[in-house]
Amino acid sequence: MGKSQLFFAEQNCGIIYYRLECGEKVLYNLVTRMIGNTLQLGLAGLGTVGSGVYETLCRNYKLLEARAQIPFAVKKIAVGNLARKRDIEVDPALLTDDWRELVEDPEIDIIIELIGGTNEAYKLVKAALEAGKPVVTGNKAVLAEYGCELFQLSAEKGTPLYFEASCGGGIPIVQSLQNSLICNKVEYIAGIINGTSNYILTSMKEKGMPFRDALEEAQRLGFAEADPSFDINGWDAAHKALILAMLAYGTPLNTDKIAVYGIERVESIDFKLADQLGYTIKLLVVIKHHADKDSLELRVQPSFVPKEYLLAKVDGVFNAIAVKGDIVGESIFYGRGAGKNPTASAVIGDIVLAMRECRLADYHTGFQPYTKELSVVPMGETVTPYYVRFRVQDRPGVIAAIASKFAKYDVDISATTSTNESVDENGVRRNHLVFMVHACKWVRLKYVLRELADNEYIDRHPAVFRIENFND
């Protein structure tokens, strides 16, 4: 350990906990005395979340030990590159660059998968379950893609798979659905579960920024990645939605089953108009059970949300998930949906659960997505009210042309409004016409829009948002 200095050492229930100070940095370590009862963890991945987990396990070890009353230690850590410089220092003796060592080590009881990506992570989770080792993962992509297979394997092997950190970061939605809310038929889940897009939409709302500027600012401040595609195109939220839907309804799903629209085409003018009309715009995940056909509606879309609804008030990087159960009514869970520490908090909650349940031969989480095949409602059949904004040339007959198409397909307009005209770069007078549409099937509105697409006085791409009203 070179010049490092022993800071304090303490023996507690078979664990020696010590902390070493080396210059500016703090070297945390947990060493077990290898007594029989101590549970050994194998941590795969030491990126942002992995180092958050390791750091927190060390920092709050005494608290965890007192609360969980189970002695534990991190026995091995698999990393991609042994030589890489890290923000936290870790005893090099713990490190390996082969995750198979974790799975094959007979002394390791629980595997924590935080390597990200889908290929290696999938292999690791599968190998661990096959070896009968409970797995804790925060990997939404793996679960959205291979969830059914992995949960089936988990059940076959009687080996649990924990995934609180895969949806909603620090928000305890998975355990709540599995435990506290277990007696509820879930009527719907609606959520804001992508912090980056919520941050961008909040900037657009509050500062009147256009999408591109808001995205750039988010990148500058570290709230959006260099390649933010997955966050802004809705797919990060969609992965989480699939996991929540599989959990709540026990049905196999995959990425083909969900309709996904991102926030790239949301314009400042829609925020202004939404505000005037009593709404705000949120990238909303909607999972709704249709009891009549026992089928699921599954979609991610920027949506109009009434200002007085609590989800409308969830701003910045915060996430929130509303669950309507037949017994409990509506519950909403709000918190940090991403980031090193909030995600680490969720991972560690699962680790403790895994440690407790390690002592049960046949623990059952109630998560069996492969047991019941629910159909998915085709998007065309889904029903909501809509906001439709057309940019048009300001000339006689345009409103009539639009209104007649709505009438043709029996789409009922509840209100209309228009903006002041302005003159565009070609000297043409233009304005925006907004139609608020009563709840109707999407397919009917689609026919209307298709027929209007060839009208020379109407811009080709109207802005269309679903209006989501939730009543409890």
Rounded Cα gap, residues 169 and 173, in angstroms: 9
By CB under 8 A, residue 13 contacts a copy of itself: no
Give the dihedral sign, CA 248/251/254/260. negative
Name the active-site residue from 240, 282, 324, 340. 240
Q: Dihedrals φ, ψ of 161, to 5°?
A: -125, 120
By CB under 8 A, residue 221 contacts a copy of itself: no
- Nearer Cβ to a copy of itself, position 334 or 447? 334
DSSP 8-state secondary structure symbol assigned to residue 326: T
By CB under 8 A, residue 366 contacts a copy of itself: yes
Residue 117, phi-psi category: left (phi > 0), alpha (psi -120 to 50), beta (remainder): left
Closest approach, Cβ 334 to a copy of itself, in A, equals 4
By CB under 8 A, residue 333 contacts a copy of itself: yes
Q: Considering CB under 8 A, how many residues would be counted as binding a copy of itself?
A: 57
Using an 8 Å Cβ cutoff, are 177 and 321 in contact?
no
Closest approach, Cβ 351 to a copy of itself, in A, equals 9
Using an 8 Å Cβ cutoff, are 113 and 150 in contact?
no
By CB under 8 A, residue 19 contacts a copy of itself: no
Alpha-carbon distances of 282 from 192, 262, 300, 386, 441, rounded to whole Å: 7, 11, 10, 14, 21
**Which stretch of DSSP H or E encloses residue 188?**
strand 186-192
Per DSSP, the three-state class of 221 is coil
Neighbours of 183 (CB within 10 A): 9
Rounded Cα gap, residues 125 and 161, in angstroms: 9
Fill in the per-residue mask, 41 to 60: x = in contact with a copy of itself (CB under 8 A), - = not in contact: ---------------xx--x
- Nearer Cβ to a copy of itself, position 249 or 442? 249
What single letter denotes the amino acid at residue 208? G
| Region binding a copy of itself by CB under 8 A among candidate stretches 4-12, 106-114, 364-372, 405-413 | 364-372
Q: Dihedrals φ, ψ of 386, to 5°?
A: -135, 155
- Nearer Cβ to a copy of itself, position 77 or 449? 77
* One residue of 352, 383, 403, 413 binding a copy of itself per CB under 8 A: 352
By CB under 8 A, residue 393 contacts a copy of itself: no
Closest approach, Cβ 173 to a copy of itself, in A, equals 9
What single letter denotes the amino acid at residue 265? R
Is 441 catalytic? The answer is no
Of 258-317, binders to a copy of itself (CB under 8 A) are 310, 313-314
By CB under 8 A, residue 330 contacts a copy of itself: yes
Question: Would you tell me which residues interact with a copy of itself (CB under 8 A)?
Answer: 56-57, 60, 63-64, 66-70, 164, 170-172, 175-176, 179-185, 250, 310, 313-314, 325-336, 339, 341-342, 344-346, 348-349, 352-353, 356, 359-360, 363-364, 366, 368, 371
Active-site residues, by number, are: 240
